[in-house]
Structure 1
Amino acid sequence: MSDSATTGLRERRMAETRRALSHATRTLTAEHGLQGFTIEQVCERVGVSRRTFFNYFEAKEQAIVGHPREWFDDDAVEMFLAIRPPGDGVSVTLFDDLVALEMAHVTQLAQSRQELRDLLAAIETEPQLLQRMMKAGMLRNDRLSDLVARREGLEPGDPVASVAVLLVTTLMHSSAEIYFTPENTLTLDEIVAPRVAAARALLGGAATSQR
């Protein structure tokens, strides 16, 4: 087996273990509350050691909210960086490419709807986890802003990057809320498209792609 194949298999196994630990922690939280079970009980359900749990997560709360490694799809990030058109200044395709990156993230979430249900069940039992979720969202936005700055050749902390991220993530959050409702029959594209059009209209065409 090649080194790349071995690495890929190892990463898949690690991802499976991470998801299993999150599922068990979320389920036990929904059933008993955060203080109603031990990390040993989580590990017993998954069939791993306590040491393994802490190789993946710092605490129960992080296992519930999710690890930062799950915030971005590596392939989508590589594409986002690679497809920047040549030229100085902020690229004319930034808005569209950032929307595509975030759509890939929502699509990835859609492939694991049970994980979302587990998360919501845990938060319903322990509402204080919402604050942890909000903090994680802010940290993710910071990392996404760094990614935009890196792609566009901007200085760290440049407001162009943070404003672009705020605009697109707000648009995607409102779209995802509709997309994940049980009664929804629309595709993600059908939900996002009118919001993208509205953003462009509000910005006077500044967000329009010129590909």
Structure 2
Amino acid sequence: MGTGLRERKKIATRQALHEAAVALSIEHGVDKVTVEAIADAAEVSRRTFSNYFASKEEALLYGDQQRVRRLVSAVAERPPSEPPWAALTAAALEFQRDLGSRDPHWVTQVRLVRRHPALAAQQVSTYASMEDELTTEIARRSPASPMHARLMAAAFLVAMRVAVQVWLDRPKGTPLADVMHESLNDMGAAFR
């Protein structure tokens, strides 16, 4: 069943606000961007902005939320018999292949997060909010305790975040897949 017109408009507005936040942050720097400027660039009111996002940081990192949702979906689509950490790793490596093609500003956004503590805090919040969904998916695959499933979900998200941060410090041209595989292998040793 398709998405109705009203829902498509909401999705488009949220995406326009996110894109405006990213573009303005790249052009002017995060500290100089205001909610009003983002709303103006997206051609909506300040009130409309507030209906979608609580802060400019949340608007800027909306793409992270979408990426983590796609990652959770990729895990859910893995074969049900696959062990949890193997499913997480395979989904992550598959997912990272299209990061840049889906969001050309992704690397710039990651660098912005590194330089701005408020963005880093928002990113941690975004990841934490998705942890429940990931925990549910892991628990579906494993007879392990609920705590074990939650620890695995949290460890996986941390390994993904750390891999990206380490990758940014590696020489240009280093494949993200290599660093992600290394991070997931190191973290995954506790869950095999």
> Partners in 2 of 1:10 and 1:106 — Cα distance?
31
Matched, 1:130 2:120: yes
Contact 1:26/1:121 (8 A) holds in 2: no
Structure 1 residue 63 displacement after superposition: 0.6
1:199 positional shift: 5.2
> Is it true that 1:25 corresponds to 2:21 in the alignment?
yes
Structure possessing the higher radius of gyration over alpha carbons: 1
Q: Percent identity?
A: 22
CA distance in 1 between counterparts of 2:147 and 2:163 reads: 24
1:161 Cα deviation after fit: 0.4
Task: Give the Cα separation in 2 of the matches to 1:118 and 1:149.
Answer: 32
For 1:56, the equivalent position in structure 2 comes to: 52
Q: CA deviation at 1:195?
A: 4.5
State the alpha-carbon separation in 2 of the partners of residues 8 and 151 from structure 1. 33
Greater relative contact order (CA < 8 Å, ≥ 6 in sequence): 1
CA RMSD, 1 decimal: 3.8
- CA distance 1:192–1:18, shift in 2 (3 Å): same
Unmatched 5+ stretches in structure 1 = 86-91
The answer as to 2:146 corresponding to 1:171 is no
More helix by percentage: 2
Q: TM-score, structure 1 length as denominator?
A: 0.64
Q: Deviations over 1:88-126 (max 9, x none)?
A: xxxx621110112333454453332414414633763x5
Matched, 1:148 2:138: yes
**SS of alignment partner, residue 71 of structure 1:** helix
Once residues 120 and 145 of structure 1 are traced to their aligned partners in structure 2, the CA distance between those partners, rounded to angstroms, is: 28
Separation in structure 1 between the aligned mates of residue 95 and residue 158 of structure 2, nearest angstrom: 14
The alignment covers a number of residue pairs equal to: 188
Q: 1:98 to 1:11 in 2, by over 3 A?
A: farther
Alignment-mate amino acid for residue 145 of structure 1? T
- 1:164 deviation in Å? 1.7
Which residue number corresponds to residue 72 of structure 1?
69
Matches within 5 A, 1:9-20: 15=11, 17-20=13-16
Counterparts of 1:18 and 1:133 in 2: how far apart (Å)? 17
Q: CA deviation at 1:62?
A: 1.2
